[in-house]
Amino acid sequence: MPNVRNGLAGRDLLDLGAMDLAEMEEALQHRGHPRFHARQIYSWIHSKGVTDFERMTDLSRALRADLPGQFRISTPKVVQRETSTDGTTKFLLELEDGRRIESVFIPDTPAQTFCVSTQVGCAMKCGFCLTGKMGLLRNLDAGEIAGQVRVLAGALDLRDSRFNIVLMGMGEPLHNYDNTMKALRILNDTHGLAVSPKRVTLSTVGVLPALERLATEPLMPNLAISLHATTEDQREALVPVNRKYGLKEILDAARKFPLKRRSRITFEYVLLNGVNDTPEDAKRLVGLLGKIRCKVNLIPLNEAAGIAFERPADARVNRFAEILAKGGATVSVRKSRGRDIRAACGQLIVEGNQKSPAQRAAGLL
C-alpha cells in the first residue's frame, strides 16, 4: 500500500474516510466494483476501526489488491495523550497535512463523552477562549471530524459502548456547516457507529444563517447556544460575531427552533468575575430567555495564561444560579474537567500550528 501520509500520489487518491455510504457506493461502482462492497468497507472503517484493506477479510483477494491503488482512508494520528487527575483524557491528533487538533474524552458525565473539533483553530475570537487566539487555519473535512470519534473509540476500547458526542472542541461547527453535518450523517449510519443524533450536542455562538438552516435538518443534533452576555454591548465585547448576528436575532431564532417533545435548547454562559456575573446580569438573563424551552449551563471561567479574565468565586456562581432558579429557569453549573492538562472548556489550543503566507495575507490573524 502506498504511503498516504507523506506521498503526493497517496494524497491524490479518493478518501473513503470522508465519504458517506452513498458516495462510497458511487465511487466503487465508477471503478468497476459492485456497490454492495461499500457497506462492507464502511463497516470495517467506522464500526470496526480497520483502515488496512488487506485486513478486510470478507472482501475478495482481488478486490483487496485493487483498492489501495484507487483509494485511501485518512485517519487522524494520535501523537500525544494526556490524562487528568479526574480521568479526562486529551488527545493531540495530527492530520494528513501535518496540522494538529485536540479532542477530549470525558468519562462519567454520566455517560462517556467525546468532545471533538470541527476546525483547526477558530475565527470567532471569543475573548475568554484560547482556541480563538489561534485564528482559523482551516476547516476540517467530514472524514477528519468523524475520524476523531473512531480514533478515540478505538484508543479507549469503547467501539462497542454507548457514548455521547459534543461538538465543543476547537472551532465553530456552524462556520463549517456542510462538513459538520456530513460527519454527523457518517456517524449516524447503521453500517458504522450508528450514533443517534439524540446523543450528539452541537455548540454554537450563533452563526445565524447556518442556525436557521440547522432548523430544517432531518438529522438534528441537540443544540447548545453560547450566550455569555445579557446586553448587546456586553456580548459584542466578549463574542465579536455579535456585531453581525446580534443577541436579539439569536434569541429570536432560538424561539423559532423546532424542538421535539421533552427536548430543550441549552444556553451556555461562561461566568467572568465582575464582568457578566452580577445579580443584574442574572435577572436580565431570566427575562431574555422568556418562554424559550431551555436550560442554562453556567460555566465558571477556566483560567489560562493569555485570557484577560478571572474565574468568579463559588459564592458568586451560586448566587447567579439561585437567581436564575428563582426566576423559573432550569440551571446547572458545569463541573470543570481536565483543567490540569488544559482540556477544559475554552482551553484547547495547538500552538505549533502556523498559518501559511496566504492565510496571513488574507488577514487571518
Q: Where are the domains of the chain?
A: 8-72, 77-361
Centre a 10 Å sphere on the Cβ of residue 22 and count the other Cβ atoms it contains.
Answer: 12
* 108 in Cβ contact with 100 (< 8 Å): no
In this predicted structure, what is the pLDDT of residue 57? 97
* 330 in Cβ contact with 286 (< 8 Å): no
Distance (Å) of CA 17 to CA 77, 81, 238, 268: 13, 23, 37, 32
Q: Closest by alpha carbon to 51, among 25, 20, 15, 23?
A: 15
Buried b (16+ CB within 10 A) or exposed e, 76-104: beeeeebebebebbbbbbbbbeebbbbbb
Query: Three-state SS for 40?
Result: helix
Grid coordinates representing 86 are 479526574
CA distance 356 to 147: 24
CA distance 105 to 107: 6
* 350 in Cβ contact with 100 (< 8 Å): yes
Task: Indicate the Cα dihedral angle 241, 244, 245, 248, nearest 10°.
Answer: 110
Task: Find out whether the peptide bond into 68 is cis, omega within 30 degrees of 0.
Answer: no
* 91 in Cβ contact with 100 (< 8 Å): no
Q: Closest by alpha carbon to 309, among 261, 257, 364, 346?
A: 346
Residues annotated as part of the active site: 102, 345
Query: Three-state SS for 148?
Result: helix
Grid coordinates representing 293 are 424551552
In this predicted structure, what is the pLDDT of residue 342? 55
Query: Three-state SS for 263?
Result: coil
DSSP state of 265: E
Amino acid at 156: L
CATH code that applies to domain 8-72: 1.10.150.530
In this predicted structure, what is the pLDDT of residue 349? 59
CA distance 118 to 132: 13
CA distance 23 to 18: 9
CA distance 108 to 303: 23
In degrees, to the nearest 5, what angle opens at C-alpha 140 toward C-alphas 86 and 82? 20
> pTM of the predicted model, to two decimals?
0.90
Per-residue pLDDT of the chain (365 residues), as tens digits, is 333 344 445 668 999 999 999 999 999 999 999 999 999 999 999 999 999 999 999 999 999 999 999 999 999 999 999 998 888 999 999 999 999 999 999 998 778 999 999 999 999 999 998 888 889 999 999 999 999 999 999 999 999 999 999 999 999 999 999 999 999 999 999 999 999 999 999 999 999 999 999 999 999 999 999 999 999 999 999 999 999 999 999 999 999 999 987 799 999 999 999 999 999 999 999 999 988 999 999 999 988 888 889 999 999 999 999 999 999 999 999 877 655 555 446 555 565 565 443 334 333 32
CA distance 115 to 187: 14
CATH code that applies to domain 77-361: 3.20.20.70
Centre a 10 Å sphere on the Cβ of residue 316 and count the other Cβ atoms it contains.
Answer: 17
